[in-house]
A and B are shown apart, each in its own frame.
Chain A
Amino acid sequence: MTDVLAVADHRRGELRDVSYELITAGRQLADETGGDLHLAVISGTVDDFADKLNRDGVDAIHTVDHGEEFNHDVYTQAITQLYDEVAPQYVLTPNSVNGLDYAPAVANELDLPVVTDTIDLDNDGETLVATREMYGGKVETTNRLEGDAVVTIRGAEWPAAEGTGDAAIEAFDAEIDEDAIGSTVNGFEEVGGGDVDISEAELLVSIGRGIEEEENLDLIRDLADALGATLSSSRPIVDNGWLPKNRQVGQSGKVVTPDVYIAIGISGAVQHVAGMKGSDTIVAINTDPNAPIMDIADYAIVDDLFDVVPELIEEFEG
């Protein structure tokens, strides 16, 4: 078994970017194992999706026409049946919220190990070496795995596949046992609307857990006022109820692209970075010189925010 079976992600009629990145990662793995790259696209307008996914490097696309939107039971059943048909070495999925809602189940059902959130993959024909992070990005690890596996890949780590492929597109007739479907998706809701749209701001003053207490937030409000900036934050600030959801930057919050993004007391976890890495200029104020945010910052002040921020306020007020 040397093939790779990769499962595309889509939502509300649109393929998600990571689906094209998955092709690149899958192609690389298939080249290393000497096998073919198979794609699966399940539910939704599968024929339309298949045409779009037919990019360079894809050998076969299996469409499973069942239901409109993602349902983890349908995915799990379809993928395990496809696994029997295609007999791949690896099942590759995005490390998206939906990927994490079926990949571990597929692995368990197939009795395979699962390795999630990989940022690099290497195969010497037998052994997979998966690179992933631990401790919120403070360290990277390599992990060896023999045999078949289910692997999820982090978004934006592999470039999107381009070009037009000549994959064989085939409908796969999965037998979906409706009785085994134990959950029903009733709809979607957008959250985080409201008075301010942080994605429109030119200058964002963004605060993270380094602020420690809700009262201290006044200091950051003063800074935003003094600079004429818009206030945003990392997730814990919103989780604590200190700022409304529409201020959250990140994977599950807003994507922002200001001219300048000032990250104050924010470590730069991958889910946060997903929302702000497109900022033109990034400035980090953080006591930890090794915080992951430093890797994407253009300018950095390694110091206590409670010392630096008052000085900055004074400069613009005084």
Chain B
Amino acid sequence: MKILVTVKEVATVEDEFEIEGTEIAEQYLGADLNEWDDYAIEEAVQLQEDGIADEVVTVTIGPEECEQTIRQALAKGADRAVRVWDDSLEGVDLLDVNAKTEILSAVIEEEDPDLVLSGVQAGDDSFAATGVSVAENLGFQWGAVVNHLEHDLDDGIASVRRELEGGVEELTDIELPAVLTIQTGINEPRYASLRGIRQAQKKPMDVKALADIGVDESTIETELELTDMYEPESESDATFWEGSPEETASELGDLLRDKGVAQ
């Protein structure tokens, strides 16, 4: 069977940063593979190693700069990558769920996988909605916040656990084809080996514009307009202990003794 994994390069922010308009100023931003997608990639690669998947393909919406991140996924074992980008996406502050759904659905339709794995959320915009939206759009089944997947996929069924709140897990059977959004902790993502990194350079990466996948610019017009970004007003009325580590530790020590919770 064929597995498709959605991979996103997310923006990371330094501790101290400045905001310019509706963006964080460039110099305070870094880039990384989305934490949740890393687990999704690992799950797909393990399915391949278990002989269940024949091919693992990644799909990314992003500009050329994110190819480094995509290569990480290839270095961990994905076979090939598809990257969608278009001039019309340049300068869009926030690609909303519908726009991502249209783009990813078009690629998935072309690739026709049996299983799509996606991260529960992206660490930057945290919508946590794209996987389920794509599934519904394609008429696939789905499961959100999956933290265990049985690897036999018997009779076209994915038996999963969905992690609910408060330490409760739901045991669910989902018919394939399906989109599962993968929660951290489902596995232990590997580090790419040197060999993997070398091989990744040679793996195919298809770059596609919207027209190539038959998506009209007008259908992805994002409906959500980001109008402001600011640092949350600090509600902190914390007492900040100042001084050397010895001094601050001693303040904390006094507090613990006062409260009678430590010897």
A residues with a Cβ closer than 8 A to B are 11, 72, 76, 95-98, 100-105, 107-109, 113-117, 129-130, 132-147, 182-192, 202-203, 227-229, 235-236, 238-241, 245, 251-255, 258-260, 262, 281, 283-284, 287-292, 294-304, 307-312, 314-316
Residues A229 and B262 in contact in the complex (CB < 8 Å), given A105-B136, A114-B129, A117-B126: yes
Main secondary structure of the interface of A (DSSP, over half): mixed
Which B residues lie within 8 Å of A103 (CB)? 129, 132
Interface: B213 (CB within 8 A) = no
Interface core residue of A72, A203, A253 (most chain B CB under 10 Å): A72
Q: Which residue of A lies closest to B239 (CB)?
A: A299
B163–chain A nearest beta-carbon distance, Å: 5
B128–chain A nearest beta-carbon distance, Å: 5
- Are B253 and A312 interface neighbours, CB within 8 A? yes
B90–chain A nearest beta-carbon distance, Å: 20
Which B residues lie within 8 Å of A140 (CB)? 229-232
Count residues of chain B with CB under 8 A from any CB of chain A. 83
Q: Which residue of A lies closest to B29 (CB)?
A: A135
Distance, CA A229 to CA B252, complexed state (A): 14
- Are B129 and A100 interface neighbours, CB within 8 A? yes
Interface: B223 (CB within 8 A) = yes
- Are A186 and B13 interface neighbours, CB within 8 A? no
- Are B166 and A252 interface neighbours, CB within 8 A? yes
Give me 18 A-to-B residue pairs in the complex whose CB atoms sit less than 8 angstroms apart, sorted by A's number.
A72-B144, A100-B132, A101-B145, A104-B136, A113-B223, A116-B128, A139-B24, A139-B229, A182-B141, A183-B142, A183-B173, A183-B175, A188-B170, A227-B262, A253-B167, A290-B15, A290-B16, A312-B249
- Are A251 and B165 interface neighbours, CB within 8 A? yes
Which A residues lie within 8 Å of B234 (CB)? 290, 294-295
B251–chain A nearest beta-carbon distance, Å: 8
Interface: B95 (CB within 8 A) = no
Interface string of B138-168 (1 = CB under 8 A from A): 0001111100000000000000011111111
Which B residues lie within 8 Å of A228 (CB)? 262-263
Beta-carbon contacts under 8 Å, B5-54 to A: 11-13, 15-17, 19, 22, 24
Distance, CA A272 to CA B135, complexed state (A): 29
- Are B135 and A281 interface neighbours, CB within 8 A? no
- Are B231 and A303 interface neighbours, CB within 8 A? no
Which A residues lie within 8 Å of B172 (CB)? 183-186
Which B residues lie within 8 Å of A302 (CB)? 240
Extra contacts besides A191-B168, A260-B259, A312-B252 (14): CB < 8 Å: A97-B162, A97-B165, A113-B223, A130-B224, A141-B94, A203-B261, A241-B188, A252-B166, A260-B256, A281-B255, A292-B232, A300-B238, A311-B249, A312-B249
Partner of B245 from A113, A291, A294, A311 at Cβ < 8 Å: A311
Which B residues lie within 8 Å of A133 (CB)? 126, 232
Residues A190 and B256 in contact in the complex (CB < 8 Å), given A134-B229, A235-B185: no
Beta-carbon contacts under 8 Å, B199-232 to A: 223-232
Residues A189 and B175 in contact in the complex (CB < 8 Å), given A135-B13, A298-B238: no
Interface: B88 (CB within 8 A) = no
Interface core residue of B167, B172, B174, B229 (most chain A CB under 10 Å): B167
Which A residues lie within 8 Å of B193 (CB)? none
Q: Which residue of B lies closest to A12 (CB)?
A: B168
Interface: B191 (CB within 8 A) = no
B142–chain A nearest beta-carbon distance, Å: 7
Distance, CA A136 to CA B32, complexed state (A): 14
Which B residues lie within 8 Å of A143 (CB)? 94, 224-227
- Which of B60-68, B70-78, B96-104 binds A? B96-104
Distance, CA A98 to CA B235, complexed state (A): 30
Distance, CA A186 to CA B143, complexed state (A): 14
Interface: B58 (CB within 8 A) = no
Which B residues lie within 8 Å of A95 (CB)? 128
Interface core residue of A72, A104, A202, A252 (most chain B CB under 10 Å): A104
Which B residues lie within 8 Å of A134 (CB)? 124-126, 229
